[in-house]
Amino acid sequence: MRKLLLFLLTTCMVAPVASVTVHTIGDSTMCNYKDDEERRGWCQLLQMYLEGITVNNRALSGRSSKQFYNEEWADVKKDFQTGDYLIIQFAHNDEKGNGLDRDEVIELIGNYGSVNERGTCPYTTYHDYLKKYINEAREAGVTPILVSSICRSKFNADGTVTRSGQHDLGDNYKVVDVANKKVVNGTKLDANNHKMDYTENMRLVAEEMNVQYVDLMSATQKEWERIYAEGGKSTVETYFRSGDETHVNEKGAILVGKLAVQAMYDADVLRPYIKKDAISSGITLTEVHTEPTISYYTLDGKQIDSTDNAFHGICIEKRRYADNSVKTVKVVR
């Protein structure tokens, strides 16, 4: 009897499973707002789409990757526990320097002219700060996730989102004239040159650092353009704060949150924590237009017919969506 009691006590004295947290850092398009404000950050509502994980939204209005690192980052790291996740999203305020970083400008010409202190250069210091977050998160046992910024509701005459609305400053950015020690405005790049594109530069960092990447900019761009095509800009504006092309309202935050978790699910990011109903309803962009087609292959690449649950090989599933896009998922089992 005593042995049985000892067994029951020892089996019940199991340390509680530590809760997992996803920490989110970024700017005003993500952060929390009071109930009486019209703005809503998409991460303010992110918890409603997740389960088994806690959202710690540390995003703050007005912050660039540089400013957040210098002012807030040390405090955020105090919340880290091994096994946590970190969503990193910056661009809106990194653009404040019109493509220049004040510190780099001072180093080159000894003054900074009118360059905003928050700005980063998309292909130099923007990379540097993203890498700081990635490396320091990994050192703490935290998995970093790069998420591109939501696009702005700025449209061309044909209903497509403008280049700057996509966080690409290629149509109008500043450069440093070292010889004359001044900052020059109005420089332009060819449309195919993405040197000044913060979204593309984030993707490059993700590729270089082998970090999970979620392209929320493209997801929101496609959705705003779809809504514009159906109802014009006035309909798009119903998702944004009055007179604002950057910050969404509650309706917009709900939609962006759905787009975010759908993009995460598709990229196999935080997939075990995403509620099933969060990716199956309410998003016109991702409604299934046709039933999925599944092809089966042996491990050496030979296609076969199989419906056997014990099948061992490669499954390729293709789904067509309402916007006629096709997504392919390859699974080895």
Note the pLDDT of residue 319.
47
Rounded Cα distance between 261 and 268, Å, is 10
State the Cα torsion 198-150-292-287 to the nearest 10°: -160
Residue 13 has pLDDT above 70, yes or no: no
Q: Predicted confidence band at 14 (pLDDT cuts at 50, 70, 90)?
A: very low
Q: Is the pLDDT of residue 3 over 50?
A: no
pLDDT (tens digit, 9 = 90+) per residue, 275-292?
988 875 444 333 333 445
Rounded alpha-carbon distances, angstroms, from residue 205 to 160, 183, 192, 210, 267 = 27, 27, 19, 8, 16
Can you tell me the mean pLDDT for 202-229?
A: 97
pLDDT number for residue 276: 85
Average pLDDT for residues 112-126, to the nearest whole number? 92
Its pTM stands at 0.79
Cα–Cα distance measured from residue 154 to residue 97, given in angstroms and rounded to the nearest whole number: 19
- pLDDT tens for each residue of 69-90: 999 999 999 999 999 999 999 9
Mean pLDDT of the chain: 85
Nearest CA to 143 among 44, 273, 280? 273
Q: What is the pLDDT of residue 4?
A: 40
| Residues 286, 147: Cα–Cα separation, whole Å | 19
Q: How far apart are CA 253 and CA 286, in angstroms?
A: 17
Helix, strand, or coil here: 29? coil
Which CA distances in Å does 256 have to 40, 63, 92, 127, 271? 10, 20, 16, 25, 17
Amino acid letter, 293: T
What is the per-residue pLDDT for 295?
A: 65
Instruction: Please check the confidence at residue 313 and state whether its pLDDT lies above 60.
Output: no
329, two tokens: 């998922």
How many angstroms separate the Cα of 30 from the Cα of each of 20, 100, 155, 164, 297? Answer: 20, 24, 22, 19, 42
What's the pLDDT band for 45 if we cut at 50, 70, 90?
very high
